[in-house]
């Protein structure tokens, strides 16, 4: 699935505490993620959002984090272990052709696609896989960086998401991001 994958070593910059000044995970995620939910995070890197997702889903919830790069998954697991959250996180390898989530058929409540879809070669397949793994009414928060991803690319992503059965709900405000909160149709 990879098109322009962020190098693993850049993951250290992505978890920098200074990033929280503009993109605080709890502020971004708490309106959508609650105790007991099953959440997917494709391309989690080293877990900037993953740890907060694990806190929000609580001990009865589950976060599935999929990444192409073993170094990202390894660092994510180390950070989750240190935070006491590893038992809530299923960190798994994705492949260039699949998110590796076929076992989740119809079980996801929420997907966070934060600065990742532009790196995926087959965006239609990505949204189809997420839709198949999602419950009717499940939410998907799509966020792409401004200045790095053209608005026309985001529009194309939204079109592909729509073809997979997701409808636009709102454009949440997240600094330096082009966003869309989507919902899986009940009949999709």
Any idea where the domains of the chain sit in the sequence?
Answer: 35-100, 113-188
* Fold agreement (35-100, 113-188): yes
The pLDDT tens digits of the residues spanning 75-130 come to 899 999 999 999 999 999 998 889 999 999 999 999 999 989 988 889 999 999 99
Instruction: Please give the Cα distance from 20 to 87 (Å, whole number).
Output: 25
Confidence band, pLDDT 50/70/90 cuts, at residue 14? low
Checking if the pLDDT of 11 tops 60, the result is no
Q: Between β-strands 134-145 and 177-184, what pairing exists: parallel, antiparallel or unpaired? A: antiparallel
pLDDT of residue 9: 47
Mean pLDDT of the chain: 89
Taking domain 113-188, whether its CATH number is 3.40.50.150 is answered by yes
Checking if the pLDDT of 155 tops 70, the result is yes
Mean pLDDT for the stretch of residues 150-176:
96
Against a cut of 0.95, is the pTM above it? no
The pLDDT tens digits of the residues spanning 35-72 come to 999 999 999 987 889 999 999 999 999 999 999 888 88
The token pair that represents 164 in the structure block: 């997979």
Q: Between β-strands 177-184 and 166-170, what pairing exists: parallel, antiparallel or unpaired? A: antiparallel
pLDDT of residue 2: 37
Q: Which CATH architecture has domain 35-100?
A: 3-Layer(aba) Sandwich (3.40)
pLDDT of residue 23: 64
In the sheet with 177-184, reading across from the earlier edge strand, the strands are 89-93, 62-67, 38-42, 108-114, 134-145, 177-184, 166-170
């Amino acid at each position: 699935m990879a098109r322009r994958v962020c190098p693993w070593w850049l993951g250290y910059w992505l978890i920098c505490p200074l990033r929280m000044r503009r993109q605080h995970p709890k502020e971004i995620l708490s309106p959508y993620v609650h105790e007991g939910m099953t959440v997917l995070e494709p391309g989690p890197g080293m877990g900037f959002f993953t740890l907060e997702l694990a806190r929000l889903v609580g001990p009865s919830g589950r976060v599935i984090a999929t990444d192409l790069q073993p170094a990202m998954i390894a660092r994510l697991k180390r950070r989750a272990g240190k935070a006491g959250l590893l038992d809530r996180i299923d960190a798994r390898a994705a492949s260039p052709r699949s998110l590796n989530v076929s076992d989740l058929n119809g079980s996801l409540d929420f997907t966070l696609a934060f600065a990742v879809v532009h790196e995926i070669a087959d965006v239609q397949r990505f949204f189809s896989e997420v839709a198949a793994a999602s419950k009717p009414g499940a939410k998907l928060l799509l966020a792409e960086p401004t200045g790095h991803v053209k608005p026309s690319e985001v529009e194309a992503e939204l079109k592909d998401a729509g073809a997979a059965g997701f409808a636009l709900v709102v454009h949440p405000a997240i600094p330096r991001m082009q966003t869309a909160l989507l919902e899986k149709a009940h009949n999709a």
